[in-house]
């Protein structure tokens, strides 16, 4: 109930418990281990990192999540690659969790502050050659639909992707933008991460986390990315 069914510590104890009660009529504990298909997709979900000086002279580090979307490029949130002065940042770097010493510089191909989405273009196209691109889901999005969110909240060197199982709490339209809210917290650093359905196809992009004072754990529906491709 605290760590979730994917937590490694929980899984270890759940397996011990289930083995101990095999001779009894007790109900086994459920747990979820990362599937082989998910493992193959994880390298396509990257850390986005930018160090820059603010207008006041302070050194700021923007960090978020991005992912390689088929026929589109590296997708992330606009607020990850836009500075406090609302101008596009330079020196944007992306890297895989399993190769954090191999950072690749990117340019911003397109962005939209209202959508809070951006498409990045790696300077070295070889970076994309060994990645399996995620595919966009064409299915209708509905409340209570099961999904998983993958990203790098509060990223630390060597951190593996953070996977959270959730459901769609509600769908809504905000300033003509199709969105939905999920029933788990979107943490700092998870912005730009993909939201996948049960077929491991992208149905949205995590953009905003709720706070005690208000807000939503908001996700922009994946079909909105077409506005950046026009």
* 3-state secondary structure labels for all residues of the chain: CCCCCCCHHHHHHHHHHHHHCCCCCCCCCCCCCCCHHHHHHHHHEEEEEEEEECCCCCEEEEEEEEEEECCCEEEECHHHHECCCCCECCCEEEECHHHCCCCEEEEEEEEECCCCEEEEEECCHHHHCCCCCECECCCCCCCCCEEEEEECCCCCCCCCCEEEEEEEEEEEEECCEEEEEECCCCCCCCCCCEEECCCCCEEEEEEECCECCECCCEEEEHHHHHHHCC
CATH number of the domain located at residue range(s) 146-228 in this protein: 2.40.10.10
Q: pLDDT tens digit string along 153-184?
A: 989 888 889 999 999 999 999 999 999 999 99
**Domain boundaries for CATH 2.40.10.10 within the chain:** 41-128, 146-228
Distances (CA, A) of 107 to 55, 67, 82, 126, 153: 21, 15, 12, 15, 23
Q: What is the pTM of this model?
A: 0.86
Q: Which residue has the higher pLDDT, 26 or 136?
A: 136
Tokens 């101990």 identify what position?
A: 20
- CA quadruple 147, 171, 70, 208: dihedral positive or negative? negative
Asked if residue 49 has pLDDT above 80, the reply is yes
Q: Please list the residues that pair with 46 across neighbouring strands.
A: 66
Please answer whether residues 208 and 230 qualify as being in contact, where contact means their C-beta atoms are separated by less than 8 angstroms: no
For 108, list phi and psi in degrees, rounded to 5. -85, 115
Q: Can you tell me the distance from the alpha carbon of 39 to that of 197, in angstroms, rounded to the nearest whole number?
A: 15
pLDDT for 3: 66
Q: pLDDT tens digit string along 85-108?
A: 788 988 999 999 989 899 999 999
Residue 220 CB coordination number (10 Å):
22
Asked if residue 230 has pLDDT above 90, the reply is no
Confidence of residue 5 (pLDDT cuts 50, 70, 90): confident
Give me the CATH topology for the region 41-128: Thrombin, subunit H (2.40.10)
pLDDT for 166: 92
Mean pLDDT of 195-215: 90
């Amino acid at each position: 109930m605290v760590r979730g069914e994917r937590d490694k510590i929980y899984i270890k104890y759940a397996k011990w418990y289930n083995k101990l009660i095999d001779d009894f009529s007790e109900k086994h504990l459920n747990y979820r281990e990362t599937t082989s298909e998910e493992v193959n997709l994880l390298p396509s979900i990257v850390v986005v990192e930018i160090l820059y000086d603010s207008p006041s002279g302070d050194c700021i580090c923007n960090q978020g999540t991005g992912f390689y979307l088929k026929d589109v490029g590296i997708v992330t949130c606009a607020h990850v690659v836009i500075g406090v002065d609302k101008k596009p940042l330079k020196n944007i770097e992306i890297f895989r969790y399993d190769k954090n010493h191999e950072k690749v510089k990117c340019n911003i191909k397109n962005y939209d502050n209202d959508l809070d989405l951006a498409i990045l273009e790696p300077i070295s196209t070889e970076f994309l050659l060994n990645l399996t691109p995620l595919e966009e889901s064409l299915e209708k999005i509905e409340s209570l639909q099961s999904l998983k969110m993958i990203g790098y909240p509060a990223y630390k060197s060597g951190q593996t992707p953070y996977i959270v199982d959730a459901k769609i709490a509600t769908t809504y339209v905000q300033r003509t933008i199709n969105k939905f809210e999920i029933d788990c917290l979107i943490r700092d650093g998870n912005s730009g991460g993909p939201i996948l359905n049960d077929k491991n196809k992208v149905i949205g992009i995590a953009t905003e986390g709720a706070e005690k004072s208000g807000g939503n754990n908001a996700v922009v529906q994946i079909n909105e990315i077409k506005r950046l491709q026009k």
